[in-house]
Amino acid sequence: MGALDGRVAIITGAGRGLGREHALLFAAEGAKLVINDLGGSPRGEGTDRGPAQEVVDEIVALGGEAVAHTESCADWDAAERLVQLALDTFGDLHVLVNNAGILRDKMLVNMGPDEWDAVMNVHLRGHFAPTRHAASYWREQAKNGVEVKAAIVNTSSGAGLIGNVGQANYGAAKAGIAAMTVIEAIELARYGVRANAIAPVARTRLTLETPGMEDMVAAPTDAAEFDKFHPGNVSPLVAYLATADCPFTGGVFHVGGGEVGLFTNWTLPERIVKDDRWTVEELREAAPRLQAGRPTIASEGLTIAETLAGFNE
């Protein structure tokens, strides 16, 4: 038996890269799949039905069950049709993997509203719209007395959790996805829905366009060497988070190569406290204690590539 036998899953952005690897593993583990992919460029331009259908054909050739959906997951009505396609084709929905994304990298001082809005639309709205329609279905199921064991797996990034030069739009969207995941976990628990997110480290079309990452994530020249940046290394965690009995919810996971870790969201490890309002001069004296022992990535201007330089060493 596969770990996902009988589970119906939607995976957005599943025509290439991480999404394709997720889909192939899900199918191997027994899931029935809706493969969503608009087929656009890494910048989100153009459309192509080919990538989604090719993954469907590959899964069917291996004995699995899958159907393609080639509309934008960021479109409100298309996202509703995406969820309905799963229900009409397979009779149920248990898993939503929000994976679709694009890049419009520019330094902040050169970025225009088009670069900002396009990335926010695909990432944030592209996570929200399918989730909202899937959650409505699961809520109705729960209200009708059906035991729901559903899972949402969102896709964040180290660019949002750590920061990266030239990616203010992408990082802001990915940080928003991490926050949205925590809130989804809180709100949807009553309906039997868990929500987690991953921050993957892998070689994809988007990663190869990220400043400083192309050389770092290159495939090894020795075929016998473990390819720690292969996108397939990420998929087992996604599949585990999608299983019916997985205990995790509200988590944001680092994953890549042979590593899996659980991020700690914003914390207050140190405070300065008095029984009255602070003055500016008092803060000038006391506030520097808050920085003691804390990372200074932002002040040093490190890139995400540099912060991950020790990955899997």
pLDDT digits (tens, 9 = 90+) for 227-264: 898 999 999 999 999 999 999 999 999 999 999 999 99
Q: What pLDDT is attached to residue 134?
A: 98
Dihedral of CA atoms 209, 213, 214, 220 in degrees, nearest 10, equals -140
d(CA 156, CA 71): 22
Average pLDDT over residues 59-71: 98
Tell me the longest C-alpha to C-alpha distance in the chain. Answer: 71
**Average pLDDT of the residues in 165-174:** 94
Closest CA to 73 of 100, 42, 40, 103: 100
- Catalytic site residue from 137, 170, 191, 240: 170
At residue 53, the 3 state secondary structure works out as helix
Q: Which two tokens stand for residue 20?
A: 């394709």
**pLDDT score recorded for residue 311:** 47
Q: Is 88 exposed, middle or buried (0-12, 13-18, 19+ CB in 10 A)?
A: exposed
The residues, ordered by sequence, that sit 6+ positions from 37 with a Cβ below 8 Å of its Cβ are 12, 13, 14, 15, 16, 19, 51, 52, 55, 68, 69, 70, 100
Q: What does the alpha-carbon distance between residue 21 and residue 255 come to, in Å, rounded to a whole number? A: 14
The letter for the amino acid at 275 is D
Q: Which two tokens stand for residue 250?
A: 């509200």
240 classed as catalytic: no
Q: Choose the weakest-confidence range: 71-85, 177-191, 195-209, 231-245.
A: 195-209
* Interatomic CA distance for residues 252 and 198, integer angstroms: 5
pLDDT score of 197: 98
The closest of 262, 247, 237, 232 to 97, measured between CA atoms, is 237
Return the CATH architecture of domain 8-267. 3-Layer(aba) Sandwich (3.40)
Interhelix angle 168-188/126-143, rounded to 10 degrees, is: 10
Do 120 and 169 contact (CB within 8 A), yes or no? yes
pLDDT category, 168, cuts 50, 70, 90?
A: very high
- Model-level pTM? 0.91
Minimal CA–CA distance to 90: which of 3, 153, 9?
9
pLDDT over threshold 80, residue 300 = no
Which is higher by pLDDT, 135 or 306? 135
